[in-house]
Amino acid sequence: MRKNTLLTVVVTAGALLLGGCRAGGDFTGREYMPDMAHSEAYEYYSPSRPVMVDGQQINLFADGKSAREPVKGTIPRGFMPYHFPDTPEGYEQAGLQLTNPYNATKAAVLEDAKVLFNSNCAICHGEKGDAKGYIVTNGKYPAPPPSYFEDRVLNLSEGKMFHSVHYGKNMMGSYAGQLNKDERWKIIAYVKKLQAEYLASNDSIAKSANATADDIYNAITGVNKFYTKGMSFPKVAAATGSVAGAAEPPVVFVESELDKLAKERRELKAGEVIKLNNVFFATGKFDLRKESAIELDKLAELMKSKPTLKIEIDGHTDNQGDAKANLALSNNRAKAVYDYLVSKGIDKARLAFKGYGATKPAADNATEEGRAKNRRTEFKVL
């Protein structure tokens, strides 16, 4: 009797074991309390399988999906919008308008910033900022990053640095997913601190003025402030603006008409006038500000892509001041654009320039808004 009972138990257990091994697909096999071992997984917002409730099959939600979609306009907790686009104009605008809320001369900020920098940046840029990080020195980095102490990097504003960290730049990818906004700003403050320490030891003017690293740090940080050779120390901010020795207001980029042309891919017609929205001059002068290079480089590329295109650069002013002086100013500004295009390899035979002063207003000169619209640079298709 005992043998029969034992045999029955063994056979039953074996049958259950074999039955449980036939798992596959959506079938989990025969298990004791399977819902405790295997929960059903659903892809976000995919159609859900009906579930049994009080003997009836129902969907999880009325729309048949496995999860409720967020309310329109929902953002992740802690999310902060970034309003500058990933374009050359956005890069310049960020450099002019963004301000770092952190100061690396403060011990608490410096300590935190150093940890963040060494954890995220030092492997490429080196702990000293000299572009001698581990993966650079071992030869495994395809394109070594620049040293923070090159002139072009010393002259970068904090806003441009933040923009580069947010979107990525060249071989460096975006760090917006790894670092929150405050952490990114702290790292940039630390980079500026490294630059200030470098200048305190290596810049002849800083050394002759006995400027400390903190003096230099305070002089090279902030909106539109950066290291310029010959700057005064101590505690004197670097000159702002893009014209040597001039304090110019920040420029405001708007959508480029040249970008619209590139998207439309249409032919230009003789007599058509296109406004150059992002060409900027020193106040009351015909010196091009460096921010204009973005727009004018686009125009140069347009000319190169259309080798038969000929244009006239037209300068315009508002009606304020002496009419003859305005006519001369507009002509000189048009010539400045002409000269820039020639410097970019555009044949002079394809170019002309003319100043119209206030004789062709685009808006009413009675208001400041109208006068701003009248101060413009355009090109006309010949």
pLDDT tens for each residue of 142-154: 778 889 998 888 8
| Structure confidence at residue 243 (pLDDT) | 32
Per the CB < 8 A criterion, the answer to whether 308 and 292 are in contact is no
CA–CA distance, 361 with 366 (Å, rounded to integer): 11
Question: Is the peptide bond preceding residue 145 cis, with omega within 30 degrees of 0?
Answer: no
Provide the CATH number for the domain formed by 88-220 in this structure. 1.10.760.10
Q: Where are the domains of the chain?
A: 88-220, 257-381
Helix (H, G, I), strand (E, B) or coil at 354: strand
pLDDT digits (tens, 9 = 90+) for 104-163: 888 888 899 999 999 999 999 999 999 898 888 888 777 788 899 988 888 888 889 999
169, β-bridge pairs: 172
Q: Residue 2 corresponds to which tokens in the numbers above?
A: 């005992």
pLDDT digits (tens, 9 = 90+) for 167-196: 998 888 999 989 999 999 999 999 999 998
**Whether pTM exceeds 0.75:** no
Indicate if the pLDDT at residue 69 is higher than 90: no
CA–CA distance, 173 with 137 (Å, rounded to integer): 20
| Structure confidence at residue 228 (pLDDT) | 56
CATH 3.40.1670.10 correct for 257-381: no
CA–CA distance, 354 with 140 (Å, rounded to integer): 54
| Structure confidence at residue 264 (pLDDT) | 80
CA–CA distance, 326 with 240 (Å, rounded to integer): 26
Q: How many CA atoms lie within 13 A of 132 on its CB side?
A: 3
Per the CB < 8 A criterion, the answer to whether 156 and 226 are in contact is yes
| Radius of gyration of the chain from its Cα atoms, rounded to whole angstroms | 32
Q: Residue 226 corresponds to which tokens in the numbers above?
A: 């950066």
Indicate if the pLDDT at residue 42 is higher than 80: no
